[in-house]
Amino acid sequence: MMTNELDSLLEWFELKDELRTGWVLRNIDSPESVAAHTWGTASLCLLYAEQEDVDPQKAVTMALIHDLGEARTGDIATRAEDGRQTIPTSEKEAAERSAVTDLVGPFADTELLTLWEEYEARDTPTAQFVKDMDLIDNCLQALKYERQGRYDEAETNDHFAEFENLDEFFATAAPRFRTELGQDLFEQIKSQYEQELGRPCQL
């Protein structure tokens, strides 16, 4: 193994320790890492790709690298509430593109960078499917945390002034689905979440 490959691998593995910012801001007890989210997204792609008529191997590979840039940039959360986005989307994408280019470079695998670019563009059925599974993973995680009571809903939290409980995570996802499968899964998860709360989810 070349030294530059080893250095790159060690940086890839930063995703194991990089906590998901949205959960941290919500004061979730022991929040998941970006790597855990990546596993969830890849697993959903594996399970549902054929149902959506996309290549499972391509979808899983795309899912595994979709947040790779965050090994260097950190996780910059997408917010539903006006004024909460910390940096412009274009700036975030540029920083992640630079990071992914560097991180796959030592392996001379141009396909990985091409797949990441395809995911970011969202112009193909595979990319749209993988993004929907990314959103579904987040909603499933919100349902899991709600069922487990992994946060104090009575605690004052300035980061979530507009939304109660974990509603913002559903509100962030709701307008972004591009596939019928993603929308159907979202509605099922949201219904279970609303049963846990005993009220409609605020979108």
Query: Distance between CA atoms of 58 and 73, rounded to whole angstroms?
Result: 25
Average pLDDT over residues 188-197: 98
pLDDT reading at 88 higher than 50: yes
Share of the chain above pLDDT 90, in %: 83
Segment 77-98 shows an average pLDDT of: 74
Mean pLDDT of the chain: 93
Which residue bears the tokens 């962030």?
A: 172
The pLDDT confidence band at residue 1, using thresholds 50, 70 and 90, is low
Short-list 80, 47, 41, 87, CA closest to 159: 80
Kindly tell me if the per-residue pLDDT of 80 is higher than 50: no
pLDDT in the model for residue 161: 83
Question: Residue 103 is encoded by which pair of tokens?
Answer: 């991180």
How many other CB atoms are there within 10 angstroms of residue 115's CB atom?
A: 24
State the Cα–Cα distance between residues 76 and 91, nearest whole angstrom.
11
pTM for this one?
A: 0.93
Domain 3-197 has CATH 1.10.3210.10: yes
Hey, where are the domains in the chain?
Answer: 3-197
Can you read off the two tokens belonging to residue 131?
């993004």
- The string of DSSP codes covering the chain is --HHHHHHHHHHGGGGT-B-HHHHHTT-SSPPBHHHHHHHHHHHHHHHTGGGTS-HHHHHHHHHHTTTTHHHH------SSTT--SS-HHHHHHHHHHHHHHHHGGGT-HHHHHHHHHHHHT-SHHHHHHHHHHHHHHHHHHHHHHHHT-S-TTS--GGGSS--TTHHHHHHHGGG--SHHHHHHHHHHHHHHHHHHTSPPP-
pLDDT band at 156 (very low <50, low <70, confident <90, very high): confident
> What's the pLDDT tens digit per position in 40-70?
999 999 999 999 999 999 999 999 999 999 9
C-alpha 181: how far from its chain's center?
17
